[in-house]
């Protein structure tokens, strides 16, 4: 945030006996390769050596190392040859998973207290990670008749690599988090136990092309040093298949056919000439060709529709983003055979879809998938702070993103492992990966921001990183661009290096110069803006077509702080910190950001007090925060949704900054670290519902926005305005409302500028019903006759000041309302349960129950998470009811019966049975 050869993406190393071992030659080898073509910490003991990973012996088999024993080099006096030899004793070493930073392993072993609580992370000595650490793993082979390779990326920041006592690569070669390496260890391995050891170097993201945390959260003391992707032991015969992929060309707009071009490299790793047959299938389509290779020769193998007409598919199964269609995937399988024996295999999944993103007349990037334009509604993605991979946790968050009506995830750096993109493919979630700002990645162009300028050694690392990520991501239909810059576009030299690598990898989707309003010589204008805000602005801000308001493509933006629920706050802050949270707006908040700009909550707290009144306690502070976050996040997405089809300067994309946080945070999150949901979550969910009625803060228009593909007609829109005592002061119904599909909108009516008898703070209820009278959208606003006033003349990079606030203090005097709740639970065979909840406003007075929240809790009162609600935080007038459903994993109840904790702005908190 603010502020290989053309055909080769892997650094491949010949057998160690053929490689001189000097740093200079290692770097030269890299250059030639480029230019030649969520778990909690639990106490644990320090075991000795873990069982060796048993390696798949089948040709083409790839086996990830199961884990490591790790220890600081400051505590290991033995030589690298000894450490990397089978049988070396590791008593006293720490266990680490197959993808683990040093600190993640130490947390799992219980060495430190929960770093997500209070300021515990500050107590972890950073000096422990200022020296290299050993990562050691054993693997077993039943034979050495096949060739053996180590294949990996994800080393942070660099490593010397040893196998069976011999060095096979040095830190000058194995450097950079994203560079891909294939080390041929055939001549070193033996039947039985073998050992690989990595001497991992300390990380500094301002000096290394790795990963950093910018201003998102307090950075981990180890700066994520470690190995965060799988290290694979790969087996094969004399001919290796590499770089297998499919280039698709879909007929648009008919979608009636698709041309497939299948490519791979065949490499002869033997010392003699060889003829191989390369055969493949895509579904029920098959193809093959022979290739003759000289000793150690590599050739490109290509199958095209011109030479293999079966690769021109009729009526292909087209991949769509969620909400626009289905997500079918195809599988490519290739086999290289020598003398009728399998030498190697390759497999790749891919989707058939077309992505275009031209600049519109206003200069904004407009994405279209399969010929259909869409408004990008996204969120910024954060992995776990310690880069711990947990597939279930990632899947839960992606389901939340879909639940919110988002269609895109932006990954600024921290580009996740393969499984992330496989899940995104499956769920239809679009992704925008790219390099991060404010560290070494933009060190050459960072202006006044931090980040060391590049040295000659950085350029080949950056190009190898781009080539490897392009090769890894190109076949995923969920990936719709790569952002080669963030706050800044790369200079000409760096851009050409990136673009050459992308082109060499057959990258087919748009290459975007920056996430900011910048351009580069080859890529041209980014078509994006990075005008913020990143801190508090009022809801009306989003409707003003200035700065971060709803025009163009805003790549990262929000009103800053997102205070989590009281349940989460009590899990993350000490009692003293909880007191400071609501009492001291100018106090530094460790759980906000390391940036001085975002160190306190003063802008946010001043607005909360100015609009809603000073908090009277922690509970009051949190409930006001949820109300404020609901209205602000809702307005952000609603404004962009309404403006998506504007005739001039339309909104084409908005990325909420951020979707989630990698730790326990007080800002930039629609869902918190524990997957609890508050006002920000349900404000986004309401704004992005498929067929939606909304109020416009700028012109009082009541608009219907249709995110469904098909048009809708025969709708009825009703708008009612109420004083806070429940008296209705305005009521209008419009029938026969029609709206087109695909994000179209229509104005049903405009609320008068002045309505007699309204209180200063008042409520607006909007209801949309279909032709049968069924309610399809309900939306309730708390508004003021006194507007928020913005001072655009003094806008800075992170916000626009507010000189006077809307008066919403009247909400504090709303009459109390009674809500009655019943629940019933059914348990499915798939391990999930669904609790159906009916909430009814049963008070005797006219006042509504505002923002009624239902939390599913266990017998101890702890939230059951994750949970997906059909709707929540609903507002009900007397006699009205709503039926909500909550779906969750039955096991997350931990054997207890479900209970429902019901609260609201003007209703008491009660807990009732959920079964």
For 768-788, the pLDDT digits (tens) are 999 999 999 999 999 999 999
Q: How far is CA 271 from CA 36, 184, 238, 290, 342, in A?
A: 20, 14, 9, 19, 18
CA-to-CA distance for 495 and 709, rounded, in angstroms? 38
Element (H, E) at 639: helix 618-642
Q: What is the pLDDT of residue 779?
A: 98
Which phi and psi (to 5°) does residue 792 adopt? -65, -25
CA-to-CA distance for 785 and 752, rounded, in angstroms? 12
267 and 291 Cβ atoms separated by less than 8 Å: no
Q: What is the pLDDT of residue 1?
A: 52
Element (H, E) at 290: strand 285-293
| Three-class SS state of 459 | helix
Strands 744-750 and 274-282: unpaired
The length of the chain, given as a count of residues: 915
Q: What is the pLDDT of residue 49?
A: 58
CA-to-CA distance for 747 and 738, rounded, in angstroms? 10
Q: Running DSSP on this structure, what letter comes out for residue 435? A: -
Q: Running DSSP on this structure, what letter comes out for residue 583? A: H
Q: Can you point out the beta strands (E) in 110-191? A: 133-141, 147-152, 155-156, 159-163, 166-169, 180-184
Q: Running DSSP on this structure, what letter comes out for residue 201? A: P
Token readout for 552 is 């163009």
Q: List the one residue out of 246, 350, 260, 263 whose CA is nearest residue 305.
A: 260
Q: How far is CA 451 from CA 247, 442, 493, 546, in A?
A: 36, 7, 18, 30
How crowded is the C-beta side of 42, counted as CA atoms within 13 Å? 4
Walk across the sheet containing 552-557 and list its strands.
Answer: 511-512, 482-483, 430-434, 408-412, 376-380, 651-656, 552-557
Contacts of 264 (CB under 8 A, 6+ apart): 241, 242, 243, 244, 245, 278, 300, 301, 334, 346
CA-to-CA distance for 466 and 458, rounded, in angstroms? 12
549 and 654 Cβ atoms separated by less than 8 Å: no
CA-to-CA distance for 638 and 696, rounded, in angstroms? 8
Q: List the one residue out of 80, 77, 171, 70 whose CA is nearest residue 128.
A: 70
Mind giving me the DSSP string for 115-130? TTSTTGGGGS-GGGGS
CA-to-CA distance for 85 and 195, rounded, in angstroms? 6
CA-to-CA distance for 185 and 218, rounded, in angstroms? 40
Low-confidence ranges of the chain (pLDDT < 70): 1-50
- Angle formed at CA 455 by CA 452 and CA 460, multiple of 5 degrees: 115
Scan for tokens 């039926």, then name that residue: 883
Name the residues annotated as catalytic: 487, 556
Burial 435-449 (b: 16+ CB within 10 A, else e): bbbbbbbbbbbbeeb
Q: Model's pTM, two decimal places? A: 0.93
Token readout for 365 is 């990037």
Q: Where are the alpha helices (DSSP H) in 39-167?
A: 80-83, 102-108
CA-to-CA distance for 676 and 657, rounded, in angstroms? 18
651 and 550 Cβ atoms separated by less than 8 Å: yes
| Three-class SS state of 623 | helix
| Three-class SS state of 163 | strand
CA-to-CA distance for 350 and 352, rounded, in angstroms? 7
Element (H, E) at 626: helix 618-642
Strands 744-750 and 789-790: unpaired
Token readout for 112 is 């430190």
Dihedral-angle region of residue 36 (phi above 0 means left; psi in -120 to 50 means alpha; beta otherwise):
alpha
Element (H, E) at 277: strand 274-282
| Three-class SS state of 637 | helix
Q: Can you point out the beta strands (E) in 614-711? A: 651-656, 691-695, 701-706
Q: What is the pLDDT of residue 14?
A: 41
163 and 255 Cβ atoms separated by less than 8 Å: no
Q: List the one residue out of 411, 360, 366 whose CA is nearest residue 556.
A: 411
Q: Can you point out the beta strands (E) in 785-898? A: 789-790, 802-804, 819-827, 832-841, 849-857, 867-869, 874-876, 881-889
Q: Dmax of the chain from CA atoms?
A: 94
67 and 96 Cβ atoms separated by less than 8 Å: yes
| Three-class SS state of 303 | strand
Token readout for 270 is 């033997």
Contacts of 340 (CB under 8 A, 6+ apart): none
Token readout for 546 is 């200035």
| Beta-ladder partners of 10 | 180
CA-to-CA distance for 376 and 735, rounded, in angstroms? 31
Measured in whole angstroms, how far is the alpha carbon of residue 213 from the centre of its chain? 14
CA-to-CA distance for 400 and 497, rounded, in angstroms? 37
């Amino acid at each position: 945030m603010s502020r290989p050869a053309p055909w080769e993406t892997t650094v491949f190393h010949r057998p160690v006996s053929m490689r001189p071992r000097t740093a200079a030659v290692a770097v030269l080898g890299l250059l030639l390769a480029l230019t030649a073509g969520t778990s909690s910490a639990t106490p644990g003991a320090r075991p000795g050596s873990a069982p060796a990973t048993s390696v798949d012996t089948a040709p083409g088999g790839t086996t990830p190392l199961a884990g490591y024993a790790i220890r600081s080099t400051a505590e290991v006096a033995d030589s690298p040859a000894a450490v990397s030899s089978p049988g070396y004793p590791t008593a006293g070493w720490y266990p680490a998973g197959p993808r683990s930073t040093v600190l993640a392993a130490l947390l799992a072993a219980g060495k430190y207290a929960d770093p997500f609580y209070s300021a515990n992370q500050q107590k972890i000595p950073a000096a422990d990670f200022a020296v290299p650490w050993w990562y050691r793993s054993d693997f077993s082979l039943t034979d050495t008749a096949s060739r053996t390779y180590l294949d990996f990326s994800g080393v942070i920041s660099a490593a010397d690599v040893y196998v069976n006592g011999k060095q096979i690569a040095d830190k000058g070669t194995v450097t950079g988090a994203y560079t891909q390496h294939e080390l041929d260890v055939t001549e070193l391995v033996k039947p039985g136990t073998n050992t690989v050891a990595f001497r991992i170097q300390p990380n500094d993201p301002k000096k290394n092309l790795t990963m950093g945390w910018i201003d998102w959260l307090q950075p981990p003391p180890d700066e994520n040093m470690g190995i965060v992707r799988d290290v694979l032991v790969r087996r094969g015969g004399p001919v290796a298949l590499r770089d297998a992929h499919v280039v698709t060309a879909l007929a648009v707009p008919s979608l009636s056919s698709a041309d497939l071009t299948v490519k791979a490299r065949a490499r002869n790793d033997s010392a003699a000439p060889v003829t191989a047959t390369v055969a493949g299938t895509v579904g029920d389509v098959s193809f093959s060709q022979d290739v003759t290779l000289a000793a150690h020769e590599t050739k490109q193998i290509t199958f095209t529709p011109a030479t293999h007409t079966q690769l021109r598919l009729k009526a292909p199964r087209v991949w769509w983003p969620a909400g626009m269609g289905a997500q079918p995937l195809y599988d490519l399988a290739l086999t290289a055979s020598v003398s009728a024996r399998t030498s190697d295999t390759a497999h790749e999944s891919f989707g058939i879809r077309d992505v275009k993103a031209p600049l519109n007349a206003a200069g904004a990037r407009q994405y279209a998938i399969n010929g259909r334009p869409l408004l990008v509604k996204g969120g910024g993605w954060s992995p776990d702070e310690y880069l711990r991979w947990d597939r279930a946790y990632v899947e839960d968050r992606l389901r939340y993103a879909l639940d919110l009506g988002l269609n895109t995830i932006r990954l600024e750096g921290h580009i996740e492992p393969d499984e992330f993109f496989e899940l995104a493919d499956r769920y239809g979630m679009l992704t925008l990966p790219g390099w991060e700002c404010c560290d070494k990645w933009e060190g050459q162009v960072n202006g006044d921001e931090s980040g060391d300028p590049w040295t000659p050694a950085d350029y080949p690392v950056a190009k190898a990183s781009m080539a490897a990520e392009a090769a890894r991501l190109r076949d995923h239909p969920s990936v719709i661009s790569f952002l080669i810059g963030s706050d800044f576009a790369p200079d000409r030299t760096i851009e050409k290096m990136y673009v050459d690598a992308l082109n060499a990898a057959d990258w087919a989707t748009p290459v975007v110069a920056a996430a900011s309003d910048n351009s580069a010589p080859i890529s041209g204008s980014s078509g994006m803006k990075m005008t913020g805000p990143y801190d508090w602005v009022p809801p009306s801000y989003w409707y003003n077509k200035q700065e971060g308001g709803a025009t163009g493509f805003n790549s990262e933006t929000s009103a800053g702080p997102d205070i989590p629920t009281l349940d989460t706050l009590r899990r993350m802050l000490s009692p003293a910190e909880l007191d400071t949270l609501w009492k001291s707006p100018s106090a530094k908040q460790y759980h906000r950001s390391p940036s001085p700009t975002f160190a306190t909550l003063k802008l946010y707290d001043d607005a909360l007090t100015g609009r809603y009144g000073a908090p009277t306690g922690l509970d009051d502070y949190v409930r006001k925060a949820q109300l404020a976050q609901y209205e602000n996040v809702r307005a952000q997405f609603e404004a962009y949704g309404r403006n998506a089809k504007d005739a001039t300067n339309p909104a084409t994309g908005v990325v909420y900054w951020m979707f989630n946080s990698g730790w326990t945070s007080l800002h930039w999150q629609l869902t918190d670290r524990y997957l609890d949901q508050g006002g920000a979550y349900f404000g986004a969910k309401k704004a992005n519902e498929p067929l939606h009625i909304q109020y416009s803060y700028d012109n009082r228009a009541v608009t219907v926005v249709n995110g469904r593909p098909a048009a809708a007609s025969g709708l009825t829109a009703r708008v009612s305005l109420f004083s806070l005592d429940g008296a209705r002061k305005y009521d209008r119904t419009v029938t026969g409302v029609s709206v087109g599909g695909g994000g179209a909108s229509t104005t049903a009516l405009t609320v008068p500028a002045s309505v007699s008898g309204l209180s200063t703070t008042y409520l607006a209820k909007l209801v949309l019903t279909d032709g049968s009278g069924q309610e399809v959208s309900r939306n309730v606003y708390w508004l003021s006759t006194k507007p928020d006033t913005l001072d655009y003349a003094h806008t800075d990079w992170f916000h626009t000041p507010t000189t006077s606030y809307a008066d919403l203090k009247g909400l504090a005097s709303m009459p109390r309302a009674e809500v009655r709740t019943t629940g019933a639970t059914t348990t499915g065979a798939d391990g999930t349960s669904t609790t159906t909840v009916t909430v009814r406003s049963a008070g005797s007075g006219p006042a509504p129950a505002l923002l009624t929240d239902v939390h599913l809790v266990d017998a101890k009162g702890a939230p059951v998470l994750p949970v997906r609600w059909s709707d929540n935080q609903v507002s009900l007038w007397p006699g009205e009811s709503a039926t909500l459903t909550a779906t969750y994993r039955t096991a997350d109840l931990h054997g207890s019966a479900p209970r429902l904790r019901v609260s609201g702005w003007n209703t008491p908190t009660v807990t009732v049975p959920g079964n």
